[in-house]
């Protein structure tokens, strides 16, 4: 949500400053420049970026519009989910957990926590890891290494979306210059015309450079940086699940296993131990 506010601020500041300086906003909008810059940008993306990365990029942008997707409320729900799973495994055995992790979409346990279910990659990561715990054939230290490797693979895939947006942002000033040069070519063909016409065409050409630079440094590059921060928060969510699963695999009691997970949460989103205990057990410590 804050990203959308930033976009609005950039637009208002740009157009407002231009108007205060005596400019007329309609002169900034030349359909030819938008067609040239937009078309070239889309074409370069299609040439350079695989389809799965394009889809993942749009999904990441959509996630950025949500208000702090990895907040304290999400982590509290995730802690409760983990505690419920570990308690179920402790009381009824690991076999009782198997049905839930095989089809999390149909699980009564997962259904209680829609905020967690919204992060399907993390849920899939948790379920795959719990399958190994149920199998019992992977020692905890090897399980931890496997989970680290999967986190690295996922983080690398998510980094491709940042790289794609960053490269488009870096290319936009050059694309804006292309649009400006084309505008100057058009101006040269009308050089014998009235001064007003020549001035209008030169202004339209300069608009191409303006749009390319604004799109790069006002929107695309900041968006790439925001996506990078979001990827870091998502990776932390994976490490959160890893800490709990490995602790459980080592035989720690449920409340201790979720405490391992709580310690893996960033300070700004981490609930206190008392909050976690109350949320998980329903009992406040006196």
pLDDT band at 285 (very low <50, low <70, confident <90, very high): very low
pLDDT at residue 124, as a whole number: 94
**Cα radius of gyration rounded to whole Å, the chain:** 26
Tell me the pLDDT tens digit for each residue of 80-131: 999 999 999 888 887 888 889 988 988 899 999 999 999 999 999 999 999 9
pLDDT band at 284 (very low <50, low <70, confident <90, very high): very low
The angle that helices 72-92 and 95-102 make with each other, rounded to 10 degrees, is: 140
**Proportion of the chain in helix, strand, coil states, percent, rounded to 5:** 80, 0, 20
The angle that helices 195-214 and 140-189 make with each other, rounded to 10 degrees, is: 180
Tell me the pLDDT tens digit for each residue of 155-212: 999 999 999 999 999 999 999 999 999 988 888 887 877 887 888 888 888 898 999 9
Stretch 19-30: mean pLDDT: 88
pLDDT at residue 1, as a whole number: 67
Task: Tell me the two tokens of residue 104.
Answer: 């999390």
What percent of the chain stands above pLDDT 90? 64
CA angle 119, 262, 227 (to 5 degrees): 40
Tell me how far apart the alpha carbons of residues 273 and 277 are, in angstroms, rounded to a whole number.
6
Tell me the pLDDT tens digit for each residue of 48-71: 999 999 999 998 888 887 777 889
Tell me the pLDDT tens digit for each residue of 214-241: 999 999 999 999 999 999 999 999 999 9
The angle that helices 140-189 and 51-64 make with each other, rounded to 10 degrees, is: 90
Q: How many CA atoms lie within 13 A of 148 on its CB side?
A: 7
Tell me how far apart the alpha carbons of residues 260 and 244 are, in angstroms, rounded to a whole number.
6
pLDDT at residue 263, as a whole number: 95
pLDDT at residue 137, as a whole number: 78
pLDDT at residue 228, as a whole number: 93
Across the chain, what does the average pLDDT equal?
90
pLDDT at residue 174, as a whole number: 95
Distance of CA 5 to the CA centre of its chain: 16
- Residue ranges of alpha helices (H) inside 190-220 are 195-214
Task: Tell me the two tokens of residue 10.
Answer: 């950039």
What percent of the chain stands above pLDDT 70? 98
pLDDT band at 45 (very low <50, low <70, confident <90, very high): very high
In the chain, DSSP finds a helix count (H) and a strand count (E) of: 13, 0
- DSSP one-letter code for 219: I
Stretch 9-34: mean pLDDT: 90
Regarding predicted confidence, which is higher, 245 or 4?
245
pLDDT at residue 283, as a whole number: 53
Q: How many CA atoms lie within 13 A of 102 on its CB side?
A: 7
Question: Which of 89, 83, 70 is CA-nearest to residue 112?
Answer: 83
pLDDT at residue 286, as a whole number: 39
Task: Tell me the two tokens of residue 159.
Answer: 């980094």
């Amino acid at each position: 949500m804050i990203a959308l506010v930033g976009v609005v601020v950039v637009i208002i500041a740009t157009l407002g400053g231009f108007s205060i300086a005596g400019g007329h906003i309609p002169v900034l909008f030349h359909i030819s420049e938008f067609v040239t810059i937009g078309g070239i940008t889309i074409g370069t993306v299609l040439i350079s970026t695989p389809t799965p990365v394009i889809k993942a990029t749009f999904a990441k942008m959509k996630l950025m519009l949500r208000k702090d997707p990895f907040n304290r409320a999400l982590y509290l729900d995730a802690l409760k989910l983990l505690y419920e799973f570990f308690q179920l495994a402790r009381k009824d055995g690991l076999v009782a957990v198997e049905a839930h992790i095989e089809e999390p979409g149909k699980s009564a346990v997962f259904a209680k926590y829609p905020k967690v279910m919204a992060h399907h990659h993390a849920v899939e990561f948790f379920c795959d890891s719990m399958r190994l715990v149920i199998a019992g054939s992977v020692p905890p230290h090897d399980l931890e290494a496997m989970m680290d490797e999967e986190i690295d693979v996922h983080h690398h895939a998510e980094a491709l979306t940042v790289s794609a947006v960053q490269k488009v942002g870096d290319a936009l000033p050059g694309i804006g210059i292309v649009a400006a040069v084309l505008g100057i070519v058009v101006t040269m063909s009308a050089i014998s015309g009235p001064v007003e016409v020549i001035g209008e065409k030169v202004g339209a050409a300069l608009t191409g450079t303006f749009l390319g630079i604004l799109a790069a440094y006002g929107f695309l590059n900041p968006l790439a940086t925001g996506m990078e921060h979001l990827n870091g928060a998502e990776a932390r969510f994976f490490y959160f699940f890893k800490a709990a699963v490995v602790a459980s695999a080592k035989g720690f009691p449920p409340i201790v296993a979720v405490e391992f997970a709580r310690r893996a949460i960033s300070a700004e989103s981490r609930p206190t131990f008392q909050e976690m205990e109350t949320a998980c057990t329903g009992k406040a410590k006196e």
